[in-house]
Each structure stands twice: as C-alpha cells, then as structure tokens.
Amino acid sequence: MIELKHVRVQRVEAPLLKDITWRIAAGEHWVITGANGSGKTWLLDLLAGNVHATAGEVVYDFVQGATWDERSALRKKHIHYIPAHALQVFLHQHGMFYQQRYYSMGDERVPRVKDILGVEAGAFNTLDMPATFNVATLLDVEVTRLSNGQLKKVMILQNLVRGLPSVLLFDYPFEGLDHASRVDLAAFLDHLARHHGITLIMTDHSHHLPESINRRLVLADGAVKSVETIQAAPSPAPSVYTTAKPLQDGTPIVEMKGIAIRYGSRTILEDFYWTIRRGERWALTGRNGSGKTTLFSLIFADHPMAYSQPVFLFGQRRGSGESIWDIKNRINYFGPELISYLAPQYRPETARTWIAQQHRQLNQQALAHTIEHFQAQGFIDRPVKTLSSGQLQIMLIISSLVSGRELLLLDEPYQFLDPINKERLNAYLQEHLHADTTLVLITHYEEDIARWTQQRLSL
C-alpha cells in the first residue's frame, strides 16, 4: 500500500529521518512510538507530503499520475492528516482566538458547527457513524463554545466531509481528552477502520489505543528501532484516588467566593467556592468542558468575568485597582494555547534564545539547572522551528519553571511527553519547587500526579 525505501529527510540544522525502510500493507493499522524528538511527527509529515525525502523513495500504490500535480492531488485525496496542534490551527484558520470562549456576548462572526461542516453535514447520515459521534445537537453551537473533545470531533468530521480517505494520519490524537472522550474517539477510529476500510496511522506514547491498531513502529534518533505486531487492549476505567484533606494553615493565594459563570443559557459554574493557600499543591480534574480552563482564566487575568465575580488574588479582589501586569508578574502560566501564539514553524531562533526573550531577568544558573534536569541539552540550542511537539512542550515547561514566582499554573503539561519526560516533570514538581510556591495543575491523567498532589478538585 505504502512503502518507504531508504528514505532520508535532511535539514540544514540536522538530519530528521535516517535511512527509513518501512512497508505499510493493506489491513495494517499502525502506531508510531519513540522518545520525544525521535522523528515521529516528521514521518507523518513525510507520508502526508508536507516534507519531501532528501534521499530514497516513498511509493503509494494509490498514487498514479503522469505529472507531479496529478500525483500531489491524488495523495491529498487519499491521505488526510490531522496534526498535533490542529485545534489551535483550526481556530486561527477561522479568525478566532482561544480566549474567545470566555466572552459571553454574542458575535455573529463566530462560526457555528453547521457552518464549519457545510451543507454536506447531512452526508454523515449515510456513513453509519457511531451514536457518540452524532453532532446533530452541536450544529447550532458556536465553535468557541465547544470543549476540547467536541472540537476535535468536529475537526475529524470536517475532514471527512471532503470524502473518505484511504489513509488517516493522526499526530497524538488522544492528547487533551478526558477518559470518556478517549474511549469515544477510539471507538470511532475503530469504526472507520472496520466499516470503511481506512488505514489508521498515529503517533502516541502510552495511551490505550483503538483495538484495530495491530502494528507498532518504534523510532530512535530518526531511525527505525523496531517493527512489532501488537494487540491493542480496550481502555480501562480511570483509577480512583482519595482526595487529601485541605491544609488549614498558610496565607490564601486565591479565593473564589460563590462565583457563577454562564454563557447564555449554559451554566459552567454555579455558587462555586475554592481557596488555595500558599505552598499547596492542587490537581484540577474533570471532563472536557467542565470549567477547568475557565478557572485558570479567572486566576490569570484573562477572563472578563473575573472583574464582576468575587475572585480574590493575593488578598485583593479583582477589579479593585490592581494592574493586570501586577498579577501576571506573580504567576507563571503554561497552557496548550501557548503553542498557537508561539507559531513554532516561523521561529528561527533557538529554544534557549526564545526562553530568554520571555523573561526580563533570567537566572542563568536556574536555567542551566532546569535544562539539565529535563536532559534538554541536545535540542535547547536548535531552532524552534525544527523541534518536535514533545520538545516544544519541554521548552515551554522550562520557561514556566525557570523563574520562581509565587503561583504556578500548569494546564495539561503532560501532553506530548514520552514516559521518561513525564517522570522528569513529576520529579521536578516533587523535588525542586520552592516550599512556598503554590501549584495548580490541570490534567486528565490522575496516575501522573498521585505522588505529589496534596489536594484534588474534580469538576
């Protein structure tokens, strides 16, 4: 079906793929794994035609054409690719921004789901899609009101409106989804594979995969390490952890005293109380769309309702005369939308230079220590535009950790990290944070935080 013969992809800065020989046969569904920076995303880009081989050959049995344009058109028809940061790209393509979800006033410029899917949305009725992927109830919802899981579902369906492909490529499809949404997406991908004959190829680290995935390609340093036959298991229910008792001492850093967040007729939070004290370690969990990121936006001064709600930061009520920058200078924040603002594909500066640009005064000793902890020496001086999704994630995490501010907000920091780098992040949070630093972390993976979390809030 697809065969790579001694393929090499080279950039001026470094080789990205080295002598890749790989055959994808009909009936095979692949997961590509490997450490951060091993070349997984570059391999998907190669299959999709977004990058071209410096040496070697990529052969598709469904791409036959006399000219380059004909072959390119056939490849686009038969191969659909949804990249890792497609959510942010999706919003930008439609003239939207991430924080637009926080505004309650109507905006006729914001497209609804039916606008995104187009007049062909009814065509999905003929595809016998699983009931969980029925978007009929979402057709009149503004795209900025969708949860992460709902938006990913709409993106997939929008992609399929163009016609069912022969091959569907996913870069980290399960990142950012809660357990139920992961089960939902896995079932949908199995449906595409079994009932429509679509070949699935995805990158992933440690999720429970769709049951149709039967082959694994392991990369290491841009080369094939191993090829394996596997049998994917269904995703188990999430583990249950006991919620620790709140600490009773310590100065309140954040206080929410009966807040209510509504968008039109939809209530996100109602009569909500929460106190975060200095030095506490909180994990914030819950379904996609339950309000986790909204709470972060109230704290980090981005949400317009913060000024009309009883929200107190560092002992002072929001909107009582403080500067937004006075607040931000006391908080370090990391979240998925930072990739959107970063636009890494256009960044020629090195990761080290970019980090330095984010801080007025950068402690070089602290930076060196953090780089060493995450073993980032191999890519920290490479151009940002050449970094993998996992390496970009580590760069952003280092930037958020290197300056010791009073409050640290981490929204989905484990995304795209391989198991070793997840362990490094957990070790840093457990061993290297100052005792007075207050931490609040959003995650869908409670097993990643069981060691160090003192408090847990589930929405």
Q: What is the pLDDT along the chain (459 residues), one digit of tens a residue?
A: 899 999 999 877 678 899 999 999 999 999 999 999 999 999 999 999 999 999 999 999 888 877 878 888 888 889 999 888 766 666 666 565 555 454 444 455 677 888 877 755 566 666 666 777 677 777 887 777 776 667 777 778 877 777 889 999 999 998 888 888 888 888 889 988 998 899 999 999 977 789 999 999 999 999 999 999 998 776 665 554 444 444 446 789 999 999 988 877 778 888 999 999 999 999 888 887 788 888 888 888 667 777 788 989 888 887 676 677 777 788 998 887 777 677 777 788 999 999 999 888 889 999 999 999 999 999 999 999 888 889 999 999 999 999 888 999 999 899 899 999 999 999 999 888 888 899 999 888 767 666 666 677 777
Q: What is the per-residue pLDDT for 243?
A: 40
What is the reported pLDDT for 199?
96
Q: What pLDDT does 87 receive?
A: 62
Tell me which DSSP letter residue 69 carries: H
Beta-carbon neighbour count of residue 225 at 10 Å?
14
Residue 179 burial class via C-beta count within 10 angstroms: exposed 0-12, middle 13-18, buried 19 and up? middle
End-to-end alpha-carbon separation of the chain, Å? 46
Structure tokens at 247: 């600490």
For 16, the token pair is 């990205």
Tell the burial category of 332 from Cβ atoms under 10 Å away from its Cβ (0-12, 13-18, 19+). Answer: buried
For the range 216-219, what are the long-range contacts, defined as Cβ-Cβ under 8 Å and sequence gap of 24 or more? Answer: 216/30, 216/31, 216/32, 216/33, 217/22, 217/30, 217/31, 217/32, 217/33, 218/32, 218/33, 218/34, 219/32, 219/33, 219/34, 219/38, 219/39, 219/40, 219/43
State residue 394's pLDDT score: 96
Which ranges of 51-93 does DSSP label H, i.e. alpha helix?
68-78, 86-93
Domains in the chain, ordered, with CATH? 2-229 (3.40.50.300), 252-458 (3.40.50.300)
Rounded CA separation 61/57 (Å): 13
Q: How far is Cα 23 from Cα 43, in angstroms, rounded to an integer?
A: 13
Angle between helices 86-93 and 148-161 (to 10 degrees): 70
CB 88, CB 337: distance < 8 Å: yes
Cα 28 off chain centre by: 26
- In three-state secondary structure terms, 322 is coil
pLDDT of residue 252: 93
Q: 308 is written with which tokens?
A: 């009309």
Of 363, 361, 362, 355, nearest in space to 338 by CA: 355
Half-sphere exposure of 64 (CA within 13 A, CB side): 3
CB of 444 within 8 A of CB of 418? no
CA distance 289 to 294: 9
Buried b (16+ CB within 10 A) or exposed e, 368-394: eebbebbebeebbebbbebbbbbbbbb
Residues in the chain: 459
Tell me the whole-structure pTM to 2 decimals: 0.86
Measure CA 200 to chain center.
Answer: 20
pLDDT at 230: 92
